[in-house]
Amino acid sequence: MKIELRDISISYGKRAVMQSISLTAMPGDVTAIVGPNGCGKTSVLRAIAGLAGYSGQLLFDGRALDRPPKKSNRSLVSYVAQDSAGRSSLTVLEVVLLGRLATLGLRVTEVDKHVVCEVLAELGILHLAQRFLVELSGGQRQLVFIAQALARNPAALLLDEPTSALDIYHQLHVLEVVRRTTQKRGLATVIVLHDLNAAIRYADQVAVLREGHMLACGKPEEIVRPDVVGPVFRVEMVSLPGAGNYPTLVATGPVHGSQGAASPT
């Protein structure tokens, strides 16, 4: 499913948090949203998920959904919030079954169990099905909540900083799973990231936000460059050769005072 944002603006009361942004997320692609804290990244995800009001056009395969979204419309999009991976006395199987609330009747059917087990196997965590969520590592819990989002068989997946509290191994593992699942299912995946090097490696397109505006959007090699993202984050950056033909950005120090962002050439 293709997601199109056309001149989307978002406000909370009288405070404007996002002004006239346009973005297209294609099926089978990972779109990463990057930018400083408070620039509106989460608000964009919430608007797509139907959890925040907006002006402008939000289209799914060229069609505007009902506002507020009906239950059938919400099932098209699965949103994993930044604080989803909390503690719970439920088992992994039970947590992922909650992702099928829209289809669950008075009791859990064998079909529901089969779908959940397939999703857990797809993400490589079927062996955790009977474990309690509280017993899992941060990376394992994050995969469980992604599995919960996938259990409803969405057309789009929205992830808000899914690697923010994870060690390096689990950051890479989660992002590899997200990219593989996106391609396999043909999802339109939109993910908020702070790690610019992860965006270079795992995203098909990168959108750069600052202070409620979109400053640049395009392929990672065109956008995630020191001259583009350095001014956005107000740091001096250099690009070094990295493994697998991916460059590595290194921040060398802060830039004091105000400095505008450069546009990609």
Average pLDDT in the chain: 89
pLDDT digits (tens, 9 = 90+) for 213-259: 999 999 999 999 999 999 999 999 999 998 888 999 999 999 986 54
| CB hemisphere CA count around 24 (13 angstroms) | 7
Say whether domain 1-76+154-224 belongs to CATH 3.40.50.300: yes
pTM for the model stands at 0.91
Alpha helices in the chain (DSSP H): 41-48, 71-74, 92-97, 110-122, 138-150, 168-185, 196-202, 220-223, 226-233
Short-list 75, 87, 39, 207, CA closest to 154 = 75
Q: Are 170 and 142 in contact (CB under 8 A)?
A: yes
Query: Domain coordinates of the chain in residue numbers?
Result: 1-76+154-224, 86-152
pLDDT digits (tens, 9 = 90+) for 3-59: 999 999 999 888 889 999 999 999 999 999 999 999 999 999 999 998 998 999 999
225 Cβ contact list (under 8 Å, min separation 6): 239, 264
